[in-house]
Amino acid sequence: MKLEVSKDLIIINKELSVLDELVINFVSLIDFDYVIVSGYLPILFGRVRTTEDIDVIIKVDEKKFSGFCEKLKDYYFLNCSEKEAFSFLKDGLSVRIARKNSVFPNFELKLAKTRVHKYSLRNKKKVKLNSNVVNISPFEVQIAYKLFLGSDKDFEDARYLFDLFKNHLKIEELKYFIKELNIKNKVVKKVLGEF
Amino acid sequence: MSVLSESKKEKERNFKDNLNYIDFYADWIKKTPNKVWSKQQKQFIDSVYKSIPSNVVIKIKKI
């Protein structure tokens, strides 16, 4: 795998799957702060699996969000109407958006509310994917959060990202989030080994 | 050994096997040109999403 990793930018060139193309198209419509988190990240970097949804953390006010909705001509809201969407977000709920004539994969948008969300937005990485750019959450947070979520699939994603990026991780930050999320040493050792 | 304890051991063994596979796959992908691994990944992902029947949408909308 040829990857160029610098402080805030990762450059990767690959054959794009339909999922990558969908993500590129969707984020090209976003003109406010966002990061992609969770299951799409290991897929972006080569893990062979699918996902039902692409989780996106956003920071936006109502006016900007309304402008974004106007651009969603090829998409529709799955779990609310366009009018209800921002109040869903403000209440801490997610809104799901899919391509017209499909249900999955869909984009699950959430307003940044928690410290983990806000940290992810502040410290986002840009990924130059061929000639496109997508924003992703830092791996240190993602790996710790996957350990926190705790399903076998989450543990496998955490191990994969750790295996792939261990030479680039800020280990102190990873340890900080592991501690903050109260993940037991036993789990860390079982999934990531000693580090 | 009870069915429960036998199954728990099997579950734990499967989990370790899966993590070993992840290590193997991560090692393989690091050594493999992007064009090669991403072509295989694309074939798999595209085949899954393209196999979803369009009538799934209609069924879900009716619920």
| Interface residue B63 vs chain A (CB under 8 A) | no
pLDDT for the residue numbered B62: 42
Average of per-residue pLDDT across A78-103: 94
**Cβ within 8 Å, pair A2-B22:** no
Chain A positions touching B25 (Cβ under 8 A) are 47-48, 160
The proportion of chain A whose per-residue pLDDT surpasses 90, expressed as a percent, equals: 96
| Interface residue B6 vs chain A (CB under 8 A) | no
Q: Which amino acid is at A91?
A: D
Which pLDDT band holds residue B55 (cuts at 50, 70, 90)?
A: low
Of B30, B42, B44, the CB nearest to A1: B30
**Cβ within 8 Å, pair B41-A191:** no
Average of per-residue pLDDT across B57-61: 47
Average of per-residue pLDDT across A129-145: 97
Distance, in Å, from the CA atom of A136 to the CA atom of A34, rounded to the nearest integer, reads: 8
Average of per-residue pLDDT across A42-61: 96
Distance, in Å, from the CA atom of A176 to the CA atom of A115, rounded to the nearest integer, reads: 13
Which pLDDT band holds residue A185 (cuts at 50, 70, 90)?
A: very high
Distance, in Å, from the CA atom of A22 to the CA atom of B46, rounded to the nearest integer, reads: 11
**Cβ within 8 Å, pair A1-B34:** yes
| Strands across the sheet containing A9-12 | A3-5, A9-12, A125-129, A132-136, A33-37, A53-59, A106-111, A95-99, A75-77
pLDDT for the residue numbered A115: 95
Which pLDDT band holds residue A104 (cuts at 50, 70, 90)?
A: confident
Among chain A residues, the shortest Cα distance to B14 is held by A152
- Write down the ipTM of this complex: 0.92
Among chain B residues, the shortest Cα distance to A154 is held by B19
Residues in a beta bridge with A136: A36, A125
pLDDT for the residue numbered B59: 44
Average of per-residue pLDDT across B45-54: 84
Average of per-residue pLDDT across A92-100: 95
| Interface residue B57 vs chain A (CB under 8 A) | yes
Which pLDDT band holds residue B54 (cuts at 50, 70, 90)?
A: low
Out of A57-71, A138-152, B41-55, pick the least confident: B41-55
Closest approach of A114 to chain B, Cα-based (Å): 30
pLDDT for the residue numbered B63: 42
Average of per-residue pLDDT across A45-74: 96
**Cβ within 8 Å, pair A164-B29:** yes
Sign of the C-alpha dihedral computed for residues A150, B50, A129 and A82 taken in this order: negative
Average of per-residue pLDDT across B18-29: 97
